[in-house]
């Protein structure tokens, strides 16, 4: 699909500032962006297109408050697989990432194999998630759950 060229283009300060501005408000008009950058709208548009096509901008999206959606709790769950089940990593990962509670999914090197970030209605919901998706899987050796008290996504480090 029309993913990207995966070019490792190099960014000048203008590109970086553009990324910063879009990170702050991805719906700003091209004109307002070009004004702030001090460049012509056509230039700004072409920069934006290039960043998108190069895959540097992965997508224009929104940050949603999970608790406003009825999921006031968040948890991080680290998952260790059975030593003999490492070859199932891809499979377990695929299953997991389709759980509706999942916000993020990390595949790790180190003591843990996965880390999943979930949003949930309540603690019972978390417990059920761990049981249904993790503990029930014979490839899973163990899990550790931590409640998230605060979470900040920091803008693109540009």
DSSP state of 29: -
Q: Which is nearer to DNA, 41 or 156 (CB)?
A: 41
Helix or strand holding residue 77 (H, E): strand 73-81
Taking CB within 5 to 8 Å according to partner kind, which of its own copies, DNA, none is near residue 103? its own copies
At residue 75, the 3 state secondary structure works out as: strand
Of 33-41, 79-87, 105-113, 128-136, which part binds its own copies (CB under 8 A)?
105-113
Query: What burial letters (b/e) apply to 68-103, b meaning 16+ CB within 10 Å?
Result: eeebebbbbbbbbbeeebeebeeebbeebeeeebbb
Instruction: Rule CB under 7 A: say whether 25 interacts with DNA.
Output: no
Q: Which is nearer to DNA, 48 or 92 (CB)?
A: 48
With CB under 8 A as the contact rule, the residue among 13, 124, 138, 153 that binds its own copies is 153
User: How far is the C-alpha of 17 from the C-alpha of 33, rounded, in Å?
Assistant: 10
Query: How many other C-beta atoms can be found within 10 angstroms of the C-beta atom of residue 126?
Result: 20
Instruction: Rule CB under 8 A: say whether 129 interacts with its own copies.
Output: no
Instruction: Rule CB under 8 A: say whether 8 interacts with its own copies.
Output: yes
Residues that bind its own copies (CB under 8 A): 8-9, 11, 19, 22-27, 54-66, 68-69, 71, 76, 93, 97, 100-112, 115, 119, 144-158
């Amino acid at each position: 699909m029309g993913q990207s060229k995966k070019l490792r283009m190099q960014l000048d300060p203008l590109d970086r500032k553009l990324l910063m501005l879009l990170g702050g408000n991805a719906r700003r008009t091209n004109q307002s962006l070009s004004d702030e950058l001090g460049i012509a709208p056509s230039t700004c548009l072409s920069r934006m297109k290039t960043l998108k096509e190069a895959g540097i901008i992965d997508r224009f999206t929104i940050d949603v408050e999970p608790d406003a959606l009825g999921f006031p709790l968040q948890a991080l769950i680290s998952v260790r697989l059975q030593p003999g089940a490492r070859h199932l990593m891809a499979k377990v990962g695929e299953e997991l990432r389709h759980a509706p509670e999942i916000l993020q999914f990390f595949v790790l090197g180190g003591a843990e194999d996965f880390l999943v970030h979930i949003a949930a209605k309540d603690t019972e919901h978390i417990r059920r998630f761990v049981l249904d998706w993790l503990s029930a899987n014979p490839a899973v050796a163990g899990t550790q759950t931590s409640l998230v008290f605060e979470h900040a996504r920091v803008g693109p480090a540009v």
